[in-house]
Amino acid sequence: MFKRLTTDTFNWILIIGVILFIFEMVFFYGGSIFSALFSGLFIYIGWKYFYKLWGKIIFWLALVSLVLAVLNLLAVRFLIITAIILFVINYSKTKKDVDHLEPILPGGEIRQETLMEMKPLFNHKLFDDQKTEDTAYQWRDVNIHGAFGDRLIDLSNTVLPNDTAVISIRHLVGNIEIYVPYEVEVSISHSSIFGRVHILGKHHWKLMNKTILYQTKGYDTAQPRVKIVTSLFSGDLEVKRV
């Protein structure tokens, strides 16, 4: 974005920012500036005694106060608004200047690929529970997100491909259960803010803002295998054999 700015434009932005800074110092007695300096002093004191509880409290309160004081400066507001306007202008120009490239193939012919539209196993739902069918179904990789509800995927009712099946679930609040047949190798990557995890006999009873990784011994060499990537704000993950 800033590469498209001319030197004159950049200089005018700096000049206006300095003028607004001086204007605030003269006519508003530098209220926000002195607040920022005052907050900076308490940040130093809090950092010096950060090993104590009252030091931590002073540090974080002063840091929040400093951010608010800086954002309250006229010059900073001007720079933020200017950056937003320049971003919008730059984005509109890039959309107009898009280059359409076409591949050049031998003989000058462009092949039209044959595509088949596949119906996903799950649709994106913010609310409500979702689970795979109780009867046999055709496998398709799962890539969904949601807000509230439980998700249940039973791999015993399908035939997995002879490579890597993928399950990717991003969810806010709810539980995720995945049933994996014994002959299938598994790799699990799970992140959660609050929750518990039960993965093939491994248990994490208090998972707080953490990511865990597991995979079975033969995952790198054997097939079929399934790669599970899940993320939860609050909820439990259970992966078990069936």
Over 80: is that where the pLDDT of 1 sits? Answer: no
Over 90: is that where the pLDDT of 227 sits? Answer: yes
**Statement to judge: residues 19 and 87 lie in one domain:** yes
Is 102 inside any structural domain? Answer: no
* Euclidean distance between CA atoms 186 and 237, whole angstroms: 14
**Statement to judge: residues 146 and 218 lie in one domain:** yes
* Euclidean distance between CA atoms 166 and 186, whole angstroms: 10
Is 108 inside any structural domain? Answer: no
pLDDT of residue 159: 87
pLDDT of residue 178: 92
Q: Are 187 and 215 in contact (CB under 8 A)?
A: yes
Q: What pLDDT digit, counting tens, does each position of 200-215 carry? A: 988 888 888 889 999 9
pLDDT of residue 100: 58
By residue range, what is the domain housing residue 151? 130-241
Is the pTM for the entire model greater than 0.85? no
Place of tokens 């990789």: 141
When comparing pLDDT for 167 and 50, which is higher? Answer: 167
Q: Which of 77, 96, 115 is the last residue of a domain?
A: 96
pLDDT of residue 69: 82
The DSSP call for residue 188 is E
- Mean pLDDT computed over every residue of the chain: 82
Q: Which of 96, 112, 144 is the last residue of a domain?
A: 96
Please state at what angle helix 7-27 crosses helix 31-48, rounded to 10 degrees: 90
pLDDT of residue 104: 62
